[in-house]
Amino acid sequence: MERYVRQMDLQKVGERGQARLAAARVVIIGCGGLGSASAELLTRAGIGRLRLVDDDRVEFANLVGQSLFDEEDAQTGEYKVVAARRRLSRLNFAVAIEAMTARLSEHNADSLVAGADLVLDGSDNDATRYLINAACLKQGIPWVFAAVLENYGLVMNIVPGKTPCFVCIFGRPADPQACRNKEKGALVATTHAVASLQVSQALRILLRNGECNPGLIYVDTWQPDVEIVPVKGPPMSCPACGRG
C-alpha cells in the first residue's frame, strides 16, 4: 500500500477508498489515444482488474498520441492490447490486466462488459458507443462516455436508472452501424485532458458507489473553455432506457 500513500491522503480516497479501488473491475473499450491514457491513470491509481478491448495493431502513426506504445511495438505491429498490457504491468504489477483482441460487436458486447463495475469509452466512433450503451443498460453497469475531436472534448457519466443514457442525449440513428466512421484528428494534449476528466469521473463513480452529477462536460483546451451542460432525466420516453 506504500505506493498509494499520497493518494490515500486525499479525503475523498482514504484507506477505505483505496481498498475499494483495489476491488474494482473496469473495462475499457478501445485502446487508442484516449483508452491508453485512461488505462495508464487507472493502473497507477491501483484499480484491481482492468480489461482492455481492441483489435487494432500498433502503427507508427499511433506514436504521437497513444502513450502506451513505443517504436518496437510499431515495428513488430503488436496488438495494441498486448503492448498495453506489457507496459501497464511494468507500471503496477498488482493490477490484473486482461488483453482482449476483439472489436466490440452486438454479438460480444454483453460478454465483454459482464461483471464490470464500470466501463470506459475509449472508442472513436458512435456505433461502438451505442453498443456500449445497450450492453451497460441491460446489465445496470455505469459507463463514462468520452469523445475527442480537434481541440474539443466531451465527457458524460451514464449511470443506468440515475442519469440519461447515450440515446437520451444523442438520439438513435436509423442505422447505428453507419456511425462507424472514425472521428478525425485530435490534439494529443486535448486527448489527455479528456482522459483525465474521464478517469476523475470514473474514480468518483467507483468511490461513491455510482453517485455522480449528471451533465455533459464540454472542454476546449485551445481557447480554453470548460462548460457543464445540464441534462435532465432519465426521461420515461427514451427507447433505450425509458420505463414508460
Which residues sit at the interface with Zn ion, rule CB under 5 A? 165, 167-168, 238, 240-241
Q: Which is nearer to Zn ion, 4 or 166 (CB)?
A: 166
Q: Smallest distance, Å, CB 210 to Zn ion?
A: 16
Q: Which is nearer to Zn ion, 165 or 206 (CB)?
A: 165
Beta bridge partners of 130: none
Give which of 187, 176, 175, 117 is closest to 148, Cα–Cα.
187
By C-beta, is 86 or 138 nearer to Zn ion?
138
Beta carbon nearer to Zn ion, 88 or 137:
137
CB of 234 to Zn ion, least distance (A): 5
Instruction: Please give the Cα distance from 37 to 97 (Å, whole number).
Output: 15
Q: Tell me the closest approach of the beta carbon of residue 171 to Zn ion, in angstroms.
A: 10
Question: Comparing C-alpha atoms, which of 102, 172, 161 is closest to residue 136?
Answer: 161
Q: Between residues 27 and 238, which has the closer beta carbon with respect to Zn ion?
A: 238
**Residue 165 Cβ, how far from Zn ion at the closest point, in Å?**
3
Residue nearest to Zn ion (CB): 238
Angle between the N-to-C axes of helices 14-22 and 188-207, in degrees from 0 to 180, rounded to the nearest 10: 110
Closest to Zn ion by CB, 185 or 230? 230
Please state the closest distance from residue 124 (CB atom) to Zn ion, in A. Answer: 22
Collect contacts of 142-145 with beta carbons under 8 A, ≥24 apart. Answer: 142/117, 142/118, 142/205, 142/210, 142/212, 143/118, 143/119, 144/118, 144/119, 144/120, 144/198, 144/201, 144/202, 144/205, 145/121
CB of 137 to Zn ion, least distance (A): 8
For residue 203, what are the CA distances in angstroms to 54, 70, 186, 222? 22, 28, 25, 26
Q: What are the angstrom distances between the C-alpha of 32 and each of 103, 166, 167, 206, 223?
A: 13, 21, 24, 23, 25
